[in-house]
Chains A and B, each alone.
Chain A
Amino acid sequence: MDLSPVWLTLKLAGITTLILLLVGLPLAWWLSKKRSWFKILIEAIITMPLVLPPSVLGFYLLLGFSPQNGLGKWLQQTFDVRFVFSFQGLVLASVIYSMPFMVSPVKSAFQQLPLSLSQASYTLGKTRWQTFVHILLPNIKPSLLTAAVLTFAHTLGEFGVVLMIGGNIPGVTRVASIAVYDSVEQMDYKAANNYSLVLFAITFIMVISVFMYNKYQSKSPLE
């Protein structure tokens, strides 16, 4: 069995999760603050991939980043980056596609922290950044972990977006879910089964670990 699609999938999920931790955390914090129409709009856009058919998202990404069109052309000419049929394209699509899985739980975790926690920190002379790092972040750790694991698992399960923008290039964009589909197309049910089993096992272990962690971790004193 050619394991490269599995490694590629894990690499994609890992990078996506890492990027979303960096991007999603501040974004979730910002969204958890006072509501405004602008924020509602941004949040709606972030949440769209949850309900939008992945092929639709993939289609627009394909159009947007195609080197024949404006943005894609500009990116290719100026920075020599290409987002269609490339690994970085998969990363970009995955970041957009999995963003709600990171942002939404982290946002509600921030919102559930009493306002007085940050206020207490401010009265002790601490800046917003110090408060974020020392008070807010440590107190949403369980939600953060859950969000990261779900983001990772969700990226493993991507299919439609990847197929649209990445295609099926072995070693570059051929992730495990595509390999399953491709194997079935070629009537190679054994290979399809192998890939499927690996995906099933990894995702099952991840989901069950999250459940166990949430069950056994000490109850939050804020509840």
Chain B
Amino acid sequence: MIEIVVEKKLKAYKGLNTLQISKEIPEGAILRITGPSGVGKTTLLKMIAGLATPDSGKIIVDGIIWFDDAKKINLPPQQRHIGFVFQDYALFPNMTVKQHLEYATTDAEWINRLLAIGMLENFEEEKPAHLSGGQQQRLSVLRALAIKPKLLLMDEPFSALDIKTKSGLIMQLKTLFAELDITALIVSHNPQELDGISTDELDLEQ
């Protein structure tokens, strides 16, 4: 169970915009996050990951306080053990596909399975610069999964994939989420994209 009650001022085109969120997410949920550009979808994910700090409020995950401004608790991202898929992929230019996964985990069997899920087995030795946009995006999803997170935060993770690849990957992820007991928060612009997988929705209004 994740309890989030946070507030953060965001710089917007016209002055400041306040992002206010109050949400409880049950374990194993797959939450789709929608809302117009600039409303704070990415910021919300980053606050949960510990990559951005809320102005006030608290984030409690499975009874453990990750953030609480009153108690001055703010767990660093390293201790939160979350999988994060960045909108810009944030792949490491110096590492091959395989090295990305080896940087995250030492479990060779798990790496091979992930490579199969992402259809990247034949690109193990390639660096991001030599991958297509879709392959790069899949790699960023695999890297986030490599640490076997309990909580997965994905920022537009399927935007560069064609429909066939996308639905194939989403089906595989669904199985994996159940197997690893993953709670996932997915920012998505495409309304149909997560049909049949998402269990809940959070619409951030301006």
Give the interface centre of A114, A116, A126, A219 by most chain B CB atoms within 10 Å.
Answer: A116
Contact A220 B88 (CB under 8 A): no
A135 touches B94 (CB 8 A): yes
Residues of A near any B CB (own CB < 8 A): 114, 116-117, 119-127, 134-135, 138-139, 141, 218-222
- Does the CB pair B90–A125 fall under 8 Å? no
A123 contacts B92, C-beta separation under 8 Å:
no
Closest residue of chain A to B93 (Cβ to Cβ) is: A221
- A213 shortest CB reach to chain B, Å: 17
* B84: interface (CB < 8 Å): yes
**A127-B128 Cα distance, complex, nearest whole Å:** 23
Residue in B86, B90, B128 whose Cβ sees the most chain A Cβ within 10 Å: B90
Nearest-neighbour CB distance to chain B for A164, whole angstroms, equals: 43
- The residue from B86, B93, B94, B146 contacting A116, defined by CB atoms under 8 A apart: B86
Q: In the docked arrangement, what's the CA distance between A117 and B77, Å?
A: 14
The answer to whether B83 touches A123 (Cβ under 8 A) is yes
B147 adjacent to A124 (CB under 8 Å): yes
Report if B2 contacts A (CB, 8 A): no
- Which residue of B80, B82, B90, B93 is within 8 Å of A220 (Cβ)? B93
B77 pairs with A122, CB closer than 8 A: yes
A124 touches which of B76, B94, B104, B127 (Cβ 8 Å): B104
Closest to A116 in B: B90
Report the nearest A residue to B46, measured CB to CB. A119
* A120-B90 contact in complex given A125-B78, A221-B127, C-beta closer than 8 Å: yes
Interfacial chain B residues near A138, Cβ < 8 Å:
94
Q: Cβ of B81 < 8 Å from any Cβ of A?
A: yes
Sort chain B's interface into a size bin: 20 to 34
Residue from A116, A120, A218 whose CB has the most chain B CB atoms within 10 Å: A120
CB <8 Å contact, B103 and A134: yes
Given contacts A114-B90, A116-B88, A117-B90, contact A123 B128 (CB under 8 A): no
Given the interface pairs A124-B147, A125-B147, the reply to whether A119 lies near B129 with Cβ below 8 Å is no
Tell me which residues from 84 to 109 in chain B have a Cβ below 8 Å from any Cβ of chain A.
Answer: 84, 86, 88, 90-94, 103-104
Q: Which of B51, B78, B80 touches A127 (beta carbons < 8 Å)?
A: B78
In the complex, which residues of chain A have a beta carbon less than 8 angstroms from the beta carbon of B143? 120, 124
Which residues of chain B come closer than 8 Å to A126, judged between CB atoms? Answer: 78, 103
Q: How far is the CA of A134 from the CA of B99 in the complex (A)?
A: 11
A157 to chain B, nearest CB (A): 33
Q: Which residues of A contact B78 (CB under 8 A)?
A: 122-123, 125-127
Question: Residue among B50, B94, B143 with the most chain A CB within 10 A?
Answer: B94
For the complex, give the distance between the alpha carbons of A140 and B50 in Å.
Answer: 26
Who on chain A is nearest to B140 by CB?
Answer: A120
B92 touches A117 (CB 8 A): yes
B49 on interface, CB distance cutoff 8 Å: yes
In the complex, what's the smallest C-beta–C-beta distance from A124 to chain B, in angstroms? 5
Per-residue CB proximity of B30-50 to A under 8 Å, as 1/0?
Answer: 000000000000000010011
Jot down 6 A-B pairs with beta carbons below 8 A, ordered by A: A119-B49, A122-B78, A123-B84, A124-B103, A124-B146, A221-B129
A123 and B93 form a contact (CB under 8 A): no
- The docked-state distance in angstroms from the alpha carbon of A32 to that of B38 is 27
Q: How distant is A112 from chain B, measured CB to nearest CB, in Å? A: 12
* A120 with B93: CB separation less than 8 A: no
Residues of chain B within 8 A of A134, CB atoms compared: 103
CB-based contact B77/A119 at 8 Å? yes
**Closest residue on chain A to residue B80 by CB atoms:** A123
| Chain A neighbourhood of B146, CB < 8 A | 124
Bound Cα distance from A219 to B128, whole angstroms = 12
Question: Which residues in B have their C-beta under 8 angstroms from that of A222?
Answer: 93
Interface string of B50-92 (1 = CB under 8 A from A): 1100000000000000000000000011101111101010111
